Structure formats: structure tokens, C-alpha cells
Amino acid sequence: MPARVYFDHAATTPLDPRVAAAMEPFLREEYGNASSLHEAGRKAREAVEQARAQVAALLNADPAEIVFTASGTEADNMALVGVADANGFAGVHLVTSAIEHPAILETAGYLARRGVAVTKLPVNFDGLVDPSALKAALRPETRLVSIMAANNVIGTIQLVPELARVAREHGTLFHTDAVQAAGKVPLNVKDTPIDLLSMSAHKLHGPKGVGALFVRKGVTIEPLVHGGGQERGLRSATENVAGIVGFGRAAELARVDMAAENARLVALRERILETVTRTVPGAYLIGHPARRLPGHLCLGLAGLEGEAIKLLLALDEAGIAVSSGSACSAHHAGQPSQILLALGFDPVRARGSLRVTLGRFNTDEEVDRFLEILPRAVASLRPMTTRLAAAKL
Ligand code: PLP
């Protein structure tokens, strides 16, 4: 039985062994609390601060602008709730987009119940928010704009510099959920007027359960978690030292290798796209053709809309892990993807897509195997759809 092929890096990534090696001492002998004054505590503090500098370097931020959190979801909540709370909730206006991750959309829903007015900007067929639509949506009471850097389902990279500039010119804070983008595409907070930015270690070959929020110097937010005052009072709790150290090392590896790794992933991605659209009838690309994450493909499969989950399971049986665009979360299996509906897909088409996301350890041979297995898996499901269509006539 050949080794399993993992093509679901947008869901999570395997821990890089170099990251695991950096974390290991902090899971064993270096168990100090980073707030303790003795030697064990000082060693933990030093490690946390080194990681803070490594994560900051990925964004060209100052280390003091990085706040560690327990996830990307928490960083997103902290940004949105933190700004709304700092402005008294009721009467605040928040602008976001229709294709954000639930960590943003559900938080916006919570804020709406607390009296915040929420505008969700539409996207075009490629998944892009139009900066002039953002400009038109801004009001005197708009306190925050939150637009993701790259989408987790379709892989489209937003026009963040342009959108951030529109917000800055209006005097409004700009947050970007960069959980999918960080470590994969260059992000530079010195060049771009981003005020708040969310990240998550497990999407860049780091550990699960650790994230960060970049908070630009001078930006005021209320904390979500209150307690002992760690992380400059913005995120109380004893630091997850091993997790933070892993995040730091993962950020450093991603930064150093980014250009070469991106070129390698784009080549693998384009080979998959070219071959699949040639060998699988009805296959087409969803999302922006050029502005997309290097290893990210979202494929539509015309005629197989009802069978996306069956295809995913058939591939899983053949040892290949991918995701269905509509069901990156198993909780929503079989339902039309809200993201694809927002792109303008009809509800039938919005049920049939396959998300293939590549990462650091994927090889040419694994791509070969996928390209051999996919057309057969699709063909095995086609007769069923054809029979069903005939029965309906
Ligand atoms: N934002 C985006 C765009 C994501 O893709 C994810 C995870 O899938 C999150 C936020 C949540 O991050 P975490 O899993 O660290 O909570």
C-alpha cells in the first residue's frame, strides 16, 4: 500500500520536523512559566520573545506589535470584538465581505446582536472585493474594515494594499484575516496600512492551537481574555511556550523558503490544473486564475454536483486526502457552499467542488498519483449521475 497523499493543507498542515525539534525541549525539561523570575522562567521568556521576533519578521512588523493567541479564530474575534468594544459596541459600523471565514462572519453576527451595524460587501466571480465598493460603503461611524488576505475555499488573494488604503484614507482601522496567506505570500505591514492582522501556526507547518494578532503600535483594542496581564494585558493566560516556540520556528522557515517554495508549488498546482481540465470532462477552475495562493486549487466538476462527497470518499479510499469546497468542514457536508453562492454560482453548481491544497512535503510523484486516480474516480461516479438524470426525465 503506497503512503497516503495529503492534499488538504488549507485545513491544516503537518508539523515540520524542524518545528517539532524546536518545540521538544519546551515540552520536557524547559517547563518554566514565562512570567517567573527564576532561571526556568527566564529561559521560557527568552524563547517566547525570540518567537515573537520570528513571527514579526514574517510581516516586517515590530516584535512588540505581535500578540500571541490560542488560534486564528481567537485572533479574529479579538480584532473585531476588541475594536467594537473599544468604541462602545452600539452605533459602531463594521464592514466585511461575504466570503470571510466563519471566525469573522459569526463574530460579525454576534456583534450585530450587540448593536453593531454590519455591511457585508459582495465579491465578483473571481472572489475579489472591489475597492471602490468598499469606499462607497464607508460611513462616518465605520470603525473597522475586515477583509481576508486570501480565501480558504477558493484561494483568491484579495487586493489588500488597495483596500487598506481606502480604509486608512477614511480614518478607519483595517483588519485582515491572513490565516491562509501568512507564510505563503509576502505581507509587509510597513508598506501597507494594515492595523490588525490574524495568523495561525497550524496553517504553516506549525502546531495547532497557537495564533497571533498583529496590533499596530497606537491602535487601541479591548482584550477578550482578562486575567494576569500577559501579552501586554491584551491576552491574559500563561503562555503556551512550546506552541509559541513552534510558531516562531515555522514562521522563520516559511519566510526563508518562501520564494523558492512558492515557485515549486505553483508549478505543481498548474500541472494539476492543466491535466485535470484536459482529462476530466466538465472540470474547471473556481476563483481567480492568477491571484491565488501558490498551492491552492478549487475545482468545479460540472455534472458531479451531487457527488462531491462521494468523490472525496472514493479518493480517500484510494489514499488521497482532499476537501470538498462546500464541506471543508464535515458539519456542512452536502450543502451548497456559501462562498460559491457569494461568487454567483447557482445552488446546484455550488454543491460540486473539490479543494486541492498542496504543501511543503508534497512531491511530483504524489501529483502523478493524484492525476492518475482522479479521472478514474470521477468516471466511476459519472454513470450514476447520468442514470439519475435519466430517471428524472
Ligand atoms: N480564518 C481562515 C481564513 C481560516 O482558513 C481559518 C482556518 O481554517 C481560520 C480563520 C481559523 O483558524 P484556527 O483554525 O487557527 O482557529
**Looking at 328, 354, 356, 374, which residue is catalytic?**
328
CA of 49 to the centre of ligand 1 (A): 24
pLDDT reported for residue 331: 53
The count of residues in the chain is 393
pTM, rounded to two decimals: 0.96
- Please, what is the Cα angle at 290 between 289 and 296, to 5 degrees? 75
CA dist 6 and 97 (Å) reads 30
List pLDDT tens digits, range 232-242.
999 999 999 99
> Is the pLDDT score of 323 beyond 80?
yes
CA of 73 to the centre of ligand 1 (A): 6
What is the arithmetic mean of pLDDT over 1-25? 95
CA of 170 to the centre of ligand 1 (A): 28
> Is the pLDDT score of 385 beyond 70?
no
**328 in catalytic set:** yes
60, 119 in Cβ contact below 8 A?
no
What is the arithmetic mean of pLDDT over 146-169? 98
Nearby residues of 259 by Cβ (< 8 Å), 6 or more positions away: none
> Is the pLDDT score of 387 beyond 60?
no
What is the arithmetic mean of pLDDT over 145-169? 98
CA of 105 to the centre of ligand 1 (A): 12
List pLDDT tens digits, range 38-75.
999 999 999 999 999 999 999 999 999 999 999 999 99
List pLDDT tens digits, range 290-305.
999 999 999 999 988 8
**Grid cell digits, residue 47:** 524563547
pLDDT reported for residue 334: 63
Q: Which atom of ligand 1 is nearest to the CA of 12?
A: 8
Task: Name every protein residue with a CB atom under 6 angstroms from any ligand 1 atom.
Answer: 71-73, 76, 101, 103, 148, 152, 177, 179-180, 200, 211
Q: Which residue's C-alpha comes closest to atom 5 of ligand 1?
A: 152
CA dist 289 and 156 (Å) reads 8
Q: Which atom of ligand 1 is nearest to the CA of 328?
A: 8
